[in-house]
Structure 1
């Protein structure tokens, strides 16, 4: 065992969580849950049916569609409410006049907004890999799917694989959508209801970086809710820094509520989250950051959440975005988080995540 492995193990030395060898009764997969972040997005253009199917074939427990709305009210899946980075929109001169600037508190976005396009127009676009250093061999091959198509795929893959495939939809920019008359929450719940997934025991979590829409959803549906907690960067001491737009939920900006995402992870903040959510999901640097090449571990966040009955998921694990501490071994990052008691991880490389979990559970 090398020095890095010793530190990883020592930084979270404890008995393995009970679920390390347990079998989930609903998903039949041991240990922490593996959520395919935007599908198998490390290999294929994100948020495509191909990426979701590949993720399930790799053993992911859940697929994660980010949900946005079109001009005519259809729910489609994109990571952002804009199109330049993830599609071939710039190859469509017929849409050149759609680019515009939208203000979000103290920052602005100039781009092509999904909410300015009909579903028929969105269907003329093709998906592209968003990371320049990943394979672009599959760019411009796949349509932008609707959420309904993703739900249909989930049902088919569950049937074909003989296991229940979960789904973890994220409502993107809920306040923005509501401001332009395209609220997502009610439509999403209706679609999940028609898919037979509107229950507390369904393999579903609805997630959001905002808080007000999750509190509203708590009154609307028994489906489990997941509070995302963002961050901007890490300072030399290993502390998470917070700058717009990742400093606070946008609904807090609009309502004038004081505070930042850091407040959600305090004792009082977790008390509030526990009143409406089943899961708190901080950016992984809230749990493990680095200072002078060594890990700064915040297992107390995991323990405090668990003490309130909250599960802890974290994001995003990527083979090609590892801190040098892990010496090029993606499994080491998973193992460190699993030893801390994390209940689920969002990964761009679900095959790596599943393999790391399987090894951890041995």
Structure 2
């Protein structure tokens, strides 16, 4: 049976925007992600010193902004222990929003994405409010829903610093019409921490437990564990190796039972993260170019679509969109 191509059930989640084409977590990246076919703007949220939610990959912002080159902030460099890992650098929680607004985004992976690095300094750091406004504007412009998919990033760390992420997130979504069963634009809420998702339950929005590939996550991937997840979440966001693993020969293996088991528990499955460069692809899908060249990315998407996933986190929304079109046409 042909699926409805107007609203395909396989969702394209623009991971930090079109982060394969512009520095991640910038309004330009988010805009491209939507215009390239993405259904959701994926956002990592961290807090400023004065409690504003901004979009950065981690609380440490030295690798994603130009802060390290700004002499006026040299004394902000420090060391934090975040979820048991000691990190040295510059932290959003030591800056007010006014100070953050003076910074500019830089490419986090310049050796793999030199074209992105050419845009270093072009874009400011966006706030959650600005991202919501952008999603609404893109929904009007494109004539289809462009949702937001916020992640509470290291919520326990933020809470220990007196900057809990959940209260301002709840408040902001309510103030902008993104709470309840019929939000103005679609919303998924995501976190690696179950307790954070539970705190967000009052919003009555779909919640996604992110699941890493490390052994500590294994209990969540059993049938019993998935049933437990379904008590506080509506979907899982697993590392893609948990859905289709890569063999020792660098080939894509057979799908695991995770998708079927999750569906049996009533959970959607949105694996992460799909990237088109050779650097990130299984060896068998790499092209003859260097690490920055694109490989046979469509074959990877096809394997996961065939495995029954309900969405994909991708740095290259256009590639995911085209692969989905081919898959739906052939289905």
- What TM-score do you get using the length of structure 1 for normalisation? 0.84
Q: Does 1:347 align with 2:314?
A: yes
In structure 1, runs of 5+ residues without a counterpart are: 1-17, 232-241, 248-259
Q: Does 1:217 align with 2:200?
A: yes
Match for residue 227 of structure 2 among 271, 281, 296: 271
The aligned runs of 1:153-192 (5 Å cut-off) are 153-192=134-173
SS in 1 for 2:271: strand
Shift of 1:177: 0.8
Within 1, Cα distance between the matches of 2:178 and 2:59?
Answer: 25
Shift of 1:120: 0.7
Q: For residue 261 of structure 1, what is the aligned residue in structure 2?
A: 217
Give the direction of change, closer, same or farther, for the CA distance of 1:172–1:166 in structure 2 (3 Å limit). same
Match for residue 73 of structure 1 among 51, 54, 69: 51
The aligned runs of 1:285-324 (5 Å cut-off) are 285-293=241-249, 294-320=251-277, 321-324=280-283
How well do the aligned residues superpose, as a CA RMSD in angstroms? 1.4
SS in 2 for 1:314: coil
Q: For residue 239 of structure 2, what is the aligned residue in structure 1?
A: 283
The aligned runs of 1:38-77 (5 Å cut-off) are 38-77=16-55
Shift of 1:104: 3.5
SS in 1 for 2:140: helix
Shift of 1:201: 4.1
SS in 2 for 1:352: helix
- What TM-score do you get using the length of structure 2 for normalisation? 0.91
Deviation string, structure 1 residues 109-155 (Cα, Å, up to 9, x no partner): 11111001000111111001111221111111100011101111111
Within 2, Cα distance between the matches of 1:33 and 1:93?
Answer: 43
In structure 2, runs of 5+ residues without a counterpart are: 287-294
Within 1, Cα distance between the matches of 2:78 and 2:239?
Answer: 30
Bigger drift between 44-53 and 88-97 goes to: 88-97
Deviation string, structure 1 residues 5-55 (Cα, Å, up to 9, x no partner): xxxxxxxxxxxxx7x6235xxxx4324100000000001010000100111
